[in-house]
Amino acid sequence: MAINGKSMIEKISNSKHNPKSLNTISFFSGILGLDLGLKDVGLNILLTCEFNKTCQKIIELNEPDVGIIGDISKYSSSEIIKYSGQKKKSEIDLIVGGPPCQAFSTAGKRGGFTDQRGNVFLNYLQLIEEIRPEYFVLENVRGLYSTKLYIETSEYGLSGLSEIPGSALFYVTRKMEELGYKVNFNLYNSANFGVPQVRERIIIIGTLANDRVNFLSPTHSETGKFNLPKWVTLEQVLDNIDLEHEFVQFSSKTKKYLEYLKEGENWKNLPDDVIREAMGNSFNLGGGKTGFFRRLSLKRPSPTLVTHPSMPATLLCHPKELRPLSVQEYKRIQQIPDNYKLLGTTIEKYKQIGNAVPVGLGKAIGKTLINHKKRIKVPEFQSFQYSRYKNMSYDTWMRDFENNYMSKKVHQLNIF
């Protein structure tokens, strides 16, 4: 029910404070992909915060003891503590969240912090400042690395430099460090953590402890390097799904061209005499256009799951069948349990799953925090390639940004 007009569902947590765990508040919770991973490794989720009313219902349906609130901008820190079921801020050990990525996506208008969604990002930082948990986690898209702050500020020496690509990430990092947090970040490919999906996200972790949190520990590598298992493939997770598949349909035109293609192929493999007909005006677009008329390969992880699997430029066609991946296959790829209940239309379900953090990445984050809290040393993987891109870690990226900034080289950072 609505209380003070803030949310369709508001409920105080029934989860009890656990002194042996990291007691966690989750923001921008979606359908709890990140939270499921954290919970699987022993973290205690007290409260979720989610604006979307259907997602609120899904949280209530699957996690009835967890607290729920709505729009992050409508709640004070004291109200948030109340809904978490706790009496004081010191009982909150961890705040996690992935503020809406559209303001920072390379595919969007890139409004940064001037975008309303970017301001929600700032709301998130403000709540961390007020509650001061021992740890915070911030998950976002790769586009955050090159997003401009846009808001003019003299803080951290950024006066007159809000239009520099990367100034938003620099601002966030320095702001949290000024608050006393040791910050570390990197760009991580989810496939390196047992997820059957090539999905890259920046994970920023801060702690009030004396030493910063190490990089996430990979559990897999593409080729088996570092004596790790190879990446999990689609074949390993899509085999033997004994469920009725729910999916949208391709248009008759799309099916016509997909029928030419075998597993793992895309538009480039179409017969020469039909390529231009199939691609139309898109033929002259720049880039590899690998998402056009794309059949997935069972021998590889999935590409990043998008919120609609039949859009022309990001097609996700089943390796063998003439259809998009189903909702059930989306769940397998994001590692959401088969029996996890979703609500809404088929398109809404695709969006809910596609926006989620893969459970395996959530587990890796949780394990890394537990190891840091308990002072457990884990093997370090020197020169491990966490993503496709270079110089994306805190040390290398901040060094490059400051070198460009100090020399007044106002240009696109050479990181893509």
- Point out the residues that are catalytic: 101
H or E element in which residue 68 lies: strand 67-69
Query: Residue 191 corresponds to which amino acid?
Result: A
329 with 350: CB under 8 angstroms?
Answer: no
Give the amino acid at 393: S
Strand (E) or helix (H) holding 206: strand 200-207
141 strand-pairing partners: 201
**Bridge pairing between strands 67-69 and 44-49:** parallel
Cβ pair 49, 28 in contact under 8 A: yes
Cα torsion 151, 396, 390, 138 to 10°: value is -50
Q: Which two tokens stand for residue 374?
A: 């308990």
Q: Which two tokens stand for residue 142?
A: 């790769």
What separation, in Å, do the N-terminal and C-terminal C-alpha atoms of the chain show? 46
Beta bridge partners of residue 48, listed in sequence order: 26, 68
Residues paired with residue 137 on neighbouring β-strands, in sequence order: 96, 205
* Helix or strand run (H / E) with residue 95: strand 94-97
Angle at 334 between CA 329 and CA 337, to 5 degrees: 75
| SS3 of residue 49 by DSSP | strand
Cα torsion 146, 150, 156, 160 to 10°: value is: 110
Instruction: Kindly tell me the number of DSSP H helices and DSSP E strands found in the chain.
Output: 12, 9
